[in-house]
Amino acid sequence: MKAIEVKKDIYWVGAKDWNLRNFHGYKTSRGSTYNAYLIKDEKTVLVDTVKAPLTKELIARLESLIDISKIDIVICNHVEMDHSGAIPEIMKKAPNAKIVTNASGKKGLVDHFGGDDWDFEVIRTGDEMSIGRRTLKFVCTPMLHWPDSMMTYVVDDKLLLSNDGFGQHYAPGDIFTLNNQKDIVFEEAKKYFANILYPYCKQAEKALKGIDGLEIDMIAPSHGCIFEGDDVKRIMDLYEKWASNEGENKAVIVYDTMWGSTEILAEAVRAEFENQGIEVVYRNLQVCHYSDVIVDFLDAKYIAIGSPTLNSNILPTVASFVTYMRGLAPQNKKAFCFGSYGWKPGAIKDIQKIFEELGWETSVEPFGVKYVPNSDIEDDIRECVRRLVS
């Protein structure tokens, strides 16, 4: 396995996880990569590692370039195991290497691996390190998406090693965006933001401010493709948009149905949004995975969620989705919920509580129907949509 040169004497030495299909409940239908980078200068620097089961792949790529024992510095931009899993093996092979990370990173590595005898250098935002011809600059990005998260900027090469920022769970044949189908790269970047970074939009805005002013002509994240050329500005502009939590004139309808009654309501809701000139994304949870559905929330202003009541509770598919959604905490939404029930309502009240917890605008009361909706009831729920968008 060979390394790939990213810039002069800077190499991708990571691993591709072709078969990954689930990442903490996030459906990863195109696999993923764990990107690590080797910088050859007067000092030899390894930036991040890979998930432990793929350590052999990392080592093979490193050995195609260097004697691993000669690594001087291991930079840990993030402690999560898909980034740090190979560090113990690297430290066995390079026992004299110094680990560079921030205070939270040091604590996390010791807690994970017990590396009390490792040589740590703790950095803060703005610190710089000379490694010979090059200077490295560090930008801490706490809670994007762990307390220890940070980025490493290679000043002389205008290269940002951005950790989880700008990442994609995607295993491409070629690691550069310029050599890939860009629609897929940016689709996966959007899905990654929605499923990993959505709760941390404020931290993403701070991170963008933290790298503002840096001259960047390449962004090399820890997952997926490397951005270069015009794609650098494009992905940074998209992050600014996604982090703003500002929705467009778009509605997302999410629902499931038991005997078709909730679906009748969902169809009426869809028809009225369209009648109001609003773009609609229509998602039945029987056929749509929740990690795909949440992507639609990034640029939507209106949300409508429908569920029948089952045993006084939300239908399990919808309950799973709203639990996942609540954890990701989308903001600035106008929402209402709807659904059918038999002898006792319950689901829509529970969904409404989640809307309120998220601080969404909920001026329209939950809309419940006993058994099967008739045409008058369809007119009533259309009126709910008109009130929501007024």
Question: Which residues are catalytic, by number?
Answer: 24, 78, 80, 82, 145, 164, 192, 223
Instruction: Specify whether the CB–CB gap between 10 and 65 falls below 8 A.
Output: no
Residue burial 132-165, b: 16+ Cβ < 10 Å; e: rest: eebebbbbbbbbbbbebbbbbbbeebebbbbbbb
- What distance in Å separates the CA atoms of residue 320 and residue 25, rounded to the nearest whole number? 11
What residue has token string 């929705």?
Answer: 247
Pairing between β-strand 22-23 and β-strand 15-17 as defined by DSSP bridges: unpaired
Q: How many CA atoms lie within 13 A of 345 on its CB side?
A: 17
Alpha-carbon dihedral angle through residues 322, 345, 379, 374, given to the nearest 10 degrees? 120
**Residues in Cβ contact with 121 at an 8 Å cutoff, skipping those fewer than 6 apart:** 98, 99, 100
- What distance in Å separates the CA atoms of residue 288 and residue 275, rounded to the nearest whole number? 24
- What distance in Å separates the CA atoms of residue 34 and residue 16, rounded to the nearest whole number? 6
Exposed, middle or buried, 258 (CB in 10 Å: 0-12/13-18/19+)? middle
